[in-house]
Amino acid sequence: MNKPLRCAVLGALALLANTAFADNLNALIQAAKKEGELNVIALPHDWCGYGGVIAGFKAKYGIKVNELNPDAGSADELEAIKANKSNKGPQAPDVIDVGLSFGPQAKAAGLLQPYKVSNWKTIPDSVKDKDGYWYGDYYGVLAFEVNKDLVAKTPTDWSDLLKPEYKNAVALAGDPRAANQAIQGVFAAGLSQSKGNVAKAADAGLKFFAQLNKSGNFVPVIGKAASLAQGSTPIVIRWDYNALADRDTLKGNPKVEVVVPKSGVVAGVYAQGISAYAPHPNAAKLWQEYLFSDEGQLAWLKGYCHPTRFNDLAARKKIPQDLLSRMPDAAAYKKALFPTLEQQEAYKAVITKQWDSVVGSNVK
């Protein structure tokens, strides 16, 4: 086949593919609009810019979004699916957003249905299920969020948190027996204490928090922007994007400093999935199409998150410079550890099962 003819054939095939995709998307949009609603869970508006993401979806498609339990942890989301298997009302989640290790757990329990978004090929293989049951959407690194009105000297590494000057100051942003963010916080502390030994990090992290608790530095309260501002949790171990969003929201009252620790830098990927019992399956699929579209992925950057399709967007020069300039120092990401799924499963089991016996602090 000569070159002009080959180009013409390829062009025609591309046109057909684009036409087929447009037809399929239009059909999905109509089916979703007919359902008229979408039930989401565990999506605080200040988490990764979800307030803007939800508003964008509603404005674009005119679909009502029912927001369930914004402060739920990943384990709570799976329990919500289990508890509402026969419920077709607004309390039954259509979709979930969970820590990466909870994706395989949900699939194994039969809680998810497969769906591959149109941009499936541009999602890295390492953060998606090959059959489409779950797929990573965004990531960040764990950081220290510090109330500078109350904390004179900012801690720069995990070992600093044990110092007497941080008495009654340090909190996790969740319950480490159920919330992915808190589990990763314990692991990150342990990774620092074990000098990067992943196999020993879970045990080291539990011992670190036991010591933190015994010294009176650990506060058994789930750290949030409100508790940080009120002074009950002056230092919160939190995903960088949440901490940076809090800094913007609080507008200097109090002054907030966000620091990525010198060691034990852990990156966390969160994954999307559609409930096997979704009351609005088409709206759920359309939600995923929106989240993984260029528009949806750029919305994560507005919320200080790195979208999983970042490399694809960058290669196509689709990322505005003003969004890139708002992101944390790239050096923090270069030294970050991205735990494998197998590693996450292993340390999650240790931390969730042994927190009570080793640390003995009821976080709530």
Dihedral sign, Cα of residue 57, residue 59, residue 61, residue 62: positive
**What pLDDT is attached to residue 14?**
37
The rounded distance, in Å, linking the Cα atoms of 99 and 174 is 13
Residue-by-residue pLDDT tens, the chain, 364 positions: 554 444 443 344 333 344 445 568 999 999 999 999 999 999 999 899 999 999 999 999 999 999 999 999 999 999 999 999 999 989 999 999 999 999 999 999 999 999 999 999 999 998 999 999 999 999 999 999 999 999 999 999 999 999 999 999 999 999 999 999 999 999 999 999 999 999 999 999 999 999 999 999 999 999 999 999 999 999 999 999 999 999 999 999 999 999 999 999 999 999 999 999 999 999 999 999 999 999 999 999 999 999 999 889 989 999 999 988 888 777 777 788 989 999 999 999 999 999 999 999 999 9
Rounded distance, CA 44 to CA 81, Å?
Answer: 19
Alpha carbon of residue 123 to chain centroid:
15
pLDDT computed for residue 331 by the predictor = 74
> How high is the pLDDT of residue 2?
52
Beta strands (DSSP E) in the chain are 37-41, 64-68, 95-99, 112-113, 135-147, 170-172, 235-239, 256-259, 267-275, 306-307
Nearest to 40 by CA among 299, 225, 275: 275
Q: What's the confidence (pLDDT) of residue 85? A: 95
Evaluate whether 237 touches 187 at the Cβ level (below 8 Å). no
Q: What is the pLDDT of residue 9?
A: 38
Residue 18: its pLDDT value, please?
45
Question: What pLDDT is attached to residue 22?
Answer: 54
> What's the confidence (pLDDT) of residue 20?
47
User: Helix, strand or coil for residue 123?
Assistant: coil
284 φ, ψ to 5°? Answer: -65, -45
